[in-house]
């Protein structure tokens, strides 16, 4: 800012009023003179803006000395109101443009940060999904192990019951060769009859639920009962499972009964509106499980609503499978978790 002419150097004349106003804001005298000489403005705001932009300029705190000619020219050069307005508008536009550029740069930084955060979140989500998949697989493996244990337990129990019946009859626990042969022929005959029945139904267009599919459907029914009611009444869910197991157990024990036998009607027909059935089974949607087993809605001779299981609707093996599913639901702590 210093003048290099050979003329005498003096401090330029500026508005004393503006100097005082700027001093009140904390600016030193030399800075006040420099800004007023440079801007020729009578706006405090413009002066403050100029000082902010040039605060680190060299010599800002030194006394400003210029030639007398330059000082006089500056006095004559004082801006008119219109010129001051135009200068102020230009300064405002320059500040706005500078702010716009700063905002644009800041937005670029923010966008980079958003992209980085998004990538990190996506990676974390993938890791969590992989861990959840492993946990689910492990739970399923444990559940299958529990199912196998339950089946083995039932098989052992059936073998023990068979041996106990033979002991009561005075027979050896193990079958004799002749009995093994008879048992083999009996099983083959049962298998032949089941095959013929399946073929007959297929010819008639009647859908036959295969044991595997039936087991899956029964499992789903039991899972639905647990998910819907276990949070509010876990004891009621357990009671429902045990009641269903008792129903099927009675039918299995008397499976060979004919429709003319008293036990046939007693165990294969359930009164829908009976207190025990309503409170223990229907209230927990257990009737859906029975319908999957083959129970049909109908009315008895007294006009009451009942569920009836015709003999041809389910085999003994399928009844036993249904019992296994219920036993698993009762004893497996992971049942219905997945």
pLDDT per residue as tens digits for the range 138-192: 888 888 888 888 888 888 888 888 888 878 887 777 777 887 888 888 888 888 8
pLDDT of residue 291: 93
pLDDT digits (tens, 9 = 90+) for 228-258: 999 999 999 999 999 999 999 999 888 888 7
- Average pLDDT of the chain, as a whole number: 84
Please check whether residue 275 is in contact with residue 313, taking contact to mean a CB–CB distance below 8 angstroms: no
pLDDT digits (tens, 9 = 90+) for 297-328: 999 888 889 999 988 888 888 888 899 999 99
Eight-class DSSP state of 274? S
Nearby residues of 242 by Cβ (< 8 Å), 6 or more positions away = 330
Largest CA-CA distance found in the chain, in angstroms, rounded: 143
- The residue ranges of DSSP E strands in 117-202, in sequence order, are none
The dihedral region occupied by 120, where left means phi > 0, alpha psi between -120 and 50, and beta the remainder, is: alpha
The structure's pTM equals: 0.41
Please check whether residue 295 is in contact with residue 306, taking contact to mean a CB–CB distance below 8 angstroms: no
Enter the tokens of residue 287: 């009737």
CB neighbour burial string for 43-62, b if at least 16 within 10 angstroms, e if fewer: beebbebbbeeeeeeeebee
pLDDT of residue 209: 45
Helix (H, G, I), strand (E, B) or coil at 297: strand
Which segment, 175-179, 206-210, 224-228, is predicted with the most confidence on average? 224-228
Nearby residues of 277 by Cβ (< 8 Å), 6 or more positions away = 270, 271
Helix (H, G, I), strand (E, B) or coil at 110: helix
Would you give the distance in Å from CA 311 to the centre of its chain? 45
Q: Distance between CA 274 and CA 279 in Å, rounded?
A: 9
pLDDT of residue 196: 83
Q: Distance between CA 124 and CA 112 in Å, rounded?
A: 18
Nearby residues of 137 by Cβ (< 8 Å), 6 or more positions away = none
pLDDT of residue 206: 43
For residue 24, the surrounding DSSP H or E stretch is helix 16-24
Enter the tokens of residue 164: 């106990």
């Amino acid at each position: 800012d210093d003048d290099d002419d050979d003329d005498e150097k003096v401090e330029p004349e500026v508005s004393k009023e503006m100097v005082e106003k700027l001093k009140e804001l904390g600016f030193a005298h030399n800075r006040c003179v420099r800004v007023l000489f440079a801007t020729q403005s009578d706006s405090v705001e413009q002066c403050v803006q100029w000082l902010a932009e040039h605060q680190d300029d060299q010599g800002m705190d030194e006394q400003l000395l210029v030639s007398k000619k330059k000082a006089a020219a500056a006095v004559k050069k004082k801006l008119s109101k219109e010129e001051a307005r135009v200068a102020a508008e230009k300064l405002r536009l320059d500040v706005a443009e500078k702010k716009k550029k700063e905002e644009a740069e800041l937005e670029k930084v923010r966008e980079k940060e958003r992209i980085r955060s998004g990538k990190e979140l996506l990676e974390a989500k993938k890791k969590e999904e992989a861990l959840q998949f492993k946990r689910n697989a492990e739970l399923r493996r444990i559940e299958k192990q529990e199912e196998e244990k339950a089946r083995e337990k039932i098989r052992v129990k059936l073998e023990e019951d068979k041996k106990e019946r033979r002991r009561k009859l005075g027979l050896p626990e193990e079958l004799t060769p002749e009995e093994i042969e008879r048992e083999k022929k009996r099983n083959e005959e049962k298998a032949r009859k089941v095959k013929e029945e399946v073929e007959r139904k297929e010819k008639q267009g009647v859908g036959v639920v295969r044991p595997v599919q039936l087991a899956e459907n029964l499992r789903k029914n039991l899972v639905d009962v647990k998910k819907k009611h276990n949070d509010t009444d876990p004891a009621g869910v357990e009671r429902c499972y045990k009641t269903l197991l008792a129903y099927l157990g009675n039918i299995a024990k008397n499976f060979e009964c004919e429709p003319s036998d008293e036990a046939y009607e007693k165990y294969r027909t359930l009164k829908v509106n009976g207190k025990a059935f309503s409170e223990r089974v229907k209230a927990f949607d257990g009737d859906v499980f029975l319908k999957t087993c083959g129970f049909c809605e109908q009315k008895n001779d007294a006009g009451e609503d009942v569920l009836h299981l015709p003999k041809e609707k389910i085999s003994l093996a399928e009844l036993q499978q249904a019992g296994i599913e219920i036993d698993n639901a009762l004893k497996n702590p992971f049942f219905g978790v997945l």
